[in-house]
Amino acid sequence: MRYRVLRPPYCYRWAVLILTLVTITTFGVAALRGSSAEGAPTATKPVNQGKSTPARATPVTAEVVRHTERPGRVVALTFDDGPDPVYTPQVLDLLSEHDAVATFCMLGSEARRHPELVQEVLARGMRLCDHTVSHDRDLRTRSEQRITAEIVGGWTDLQIAAGRDVPIPYFRAPAGNWSERTSAVAARHGMRSLAWSVDSRDWTLPGAERIVTTVKEGVAPGAVVLLHDGGGEREQTVAALAELLPWLLAQGYELGFP
C-alpha cells in the first residue's frame, strides 16, 4: 500500500521560514553587541570549569621520574597507599618536627574516606600524587578506558577530598607496574609518572632497623625514596622515619620534592 505524504499548508511553511530568519537575525545582533568597543570579541570563560578531569595547561612527557626536581644534596621522601587515620598523622608530625616535606601518593578510595587527612597533608606544605582509585596491581594490562578511569578517578577523588582546586603533579602506578599506556594517560592529564630510586621495602615488614639500613645504603643526592603510610600496619615505617630524618639532615641532605 502506498501512503500519501501529508504536506503542511503553504501558510505554515511560510511561518516557519519567517521564524527561522528572525532567529538568525536575533542571534547575529546579539553576537555583534557582545563584541568589545574596538571590535574584538570579549574574553570568555574557559570551557570545562568543572573538576571532572585534570587541567592540561602544562604539557608533560611520559618519562618516568626517579630523581628530585632540584640538583644537589636533596632527597625526596614519598609515602604510598594512604591516607591512613593512624599512620598519616604520625608521619606528618615527624616531618613537621624536622621542617621536612614529602610527597603522599594517595588512593582515591582512601581519600574519599578521610578527606580531612588530605586537607591536613596540604596544610603542612606537602604534595599530592595520584595513586589511582583502587590500587589495581595489574592496571597496565587493562583497557585504555579502565586505565583512564583509575587515573582520572583518583585525581578527581583527591580534588574533592581537598575541597578546592589543588595541583597534583604526579601519578604513581600501583606496585610500580608502569607501562607506556599508563604513563601516556597520566601525561595527557598533566601528571608525571613518579617512580623511586630507593625502595625501603617497608612493605615487607622487615623491622624498623632493616628499613633504616636499606635507606642509608641506597640514598644519594637526588634520590627518591619509597615508603608507605597506608595499606597495612606501618609502625615500623614510622619508627624508621623517626631515625632517618635526623640522620639525613646530619648528612647534609635537604628534604625536597621529586
Does the CA dihedral 198-201-206-208 come out positive or negative? Answer: positive
Is residue 80 flagged as an active site residue? Answer: yes
- 106-129 in b/e form (b: 16+ CB < 10 A) is bbbebbeebbebbbebbebebbbb
Selected catalytic residue, list 80, 130, 157, 229: 80
- 64-77 in b/e form (b: 16+ CB < 10 A) is bbbbbeeeeebbbb
Selected catalytic residue, list 114, 135, 189, 228: 228
User: Is residue 258 within 8 Å of 194, Cβ to Cβ?
Assistant: yes
Is residue 202 flagged as an active site residue? Answer: no
- The neighbour count for residue 228, using CB atoms within 10 Å, is 22
- For residue 83, whether the previous peptide bond is cis, meaning omega lies within 30 degrees of 0, is yes
Q: How many helices (H) and strands (E) does the chain have?
A: 8, 9
* CA trace torsion 95, 101, 106, 110 (10° rounding): 40
SS3 content of the chain, % helix, strand, coil (to 5): 45, 15, 40
Residue positions annotated with a catalytic role: 80, 228
